[in-house]
Amino acid sequence: GKTLIARAIANQAKATFIRLSGSDLIQRYMGESVHMVRELFELAREKSPSILFIDEIDAIGTQRSSDPLSGTQVAHAEILMQLLSEMDGFDNRGNVRIMAATNRVDMLDHALLRPGRFDRILEIPLPDADSRREIFRIHSAKLPLAADLDIDTVLGMTEGTTGAEIQSICREAAMFAIRRNADSVTGNDFGNAVAKVRKTGKPVKYTDIMYY
């Protein structure tokens, strides 16, 4: 949902959209991530007007500790320092804006939230029941849903999920139906999909949710 909002803002502003994933950065070799941050900021300048969107920024921007750091923590700190350096050096950036998304703003390093960096925070809540229904409608539109499928029951399973999780649930439910060589996607397929996406460890029984 947050990524889609950032894309929509870029589209509305007729700006180039550049996405950087914090989780992708920490999976790279030490030094490579720092170089990648530098290159993406340079690309944002070249493609101005642009919006540089850093997804899952908490993966690289958690609060630093005064305790001795492990090798992994040192790597994360180097990435964060490069990010802060690039943001501070953007005085002459032209028409470039930086956005980021996180599910744990409380864990972010205070240096990221100083004026001139990320000094405006917009909370985007989880989708409510009506929003989940619309998201489900969009992502299930092309699925051969079973005639007796109770949409309200399926939506009850998705309480507390994000838009991206609902999309994944629809996709996984279709895969469960394919594995059964079935002609339609049933409530049990969605129950299995919810368990897989939300990692509950066991299938959510379609009938268990029926009267909630």
DSSP structure class, residue 97: E
Residue 16's closest CA among 98, 121, 129, 111?
Answer: 98
Domain 129-209 CATH assignment equals 1.10.8.60: yes
What is the model's pLDDT at position 207?
Answer: 39
What is the model's pLDDT at position 115?
Answer: 83
What is the model's pLDDT at position 75?
Answer: 73
CA distance 204 to 212: 13
pTM of the complete model: 0.68
C-alpha dihedral, 193 to 199 to 205 to 208, nearest 10°: -130
Give me the residue spans of the domains in the chain: 2-113, 129-209
**Percent of the chain that is helix, strand, coil (3-state, to 5):** 50, 10, 40
156, 212 in Cβ contact below 8 A? Answer: yes
179, 166 in Cβ contact below 8 A? Answer: no
C-alpha dihedral, 40 to 44 to 47 to 53, nearest 10°: 100
What is the model's pLDDT at position 64?
Answer: 64
Which residues are paired to 62 by β-bridges?
108
What is the model's pLDDT at position 29?
Answer: 63
What is the model's pLDDT at position 73?
Answer: 66
Q: For residue 179, what are the CA distances in angstroms to 24, 114, 174?
A: 31, 51, 9
188, 150 in Cβ contact below 8 A? Answer: no
Domain 2-113 CATH assignment equals 3.40.50.300: yes
Residues in the chain, pLDDT under 70: 1, 28-31, 64-73, 89-94, 200-212
Secondary structure E strands in the chain: 16-21, 50-55, 96-100
**AA letter at 122:** L
**AA letter at 178:** I
What is the model's pLDDT at position 212?
Answer: 25
CA distance 88 to 19: 19
Residue 6's closest CA among 53, 56, 45, 59?
Answer: 53
Tokens for 77? 């700190």
Task: Encode pLDDT of 100-149 as tens digits.
Answer: 988 888 888 888 888 888 888 888 888 999 999 999 999 999 999 999 99
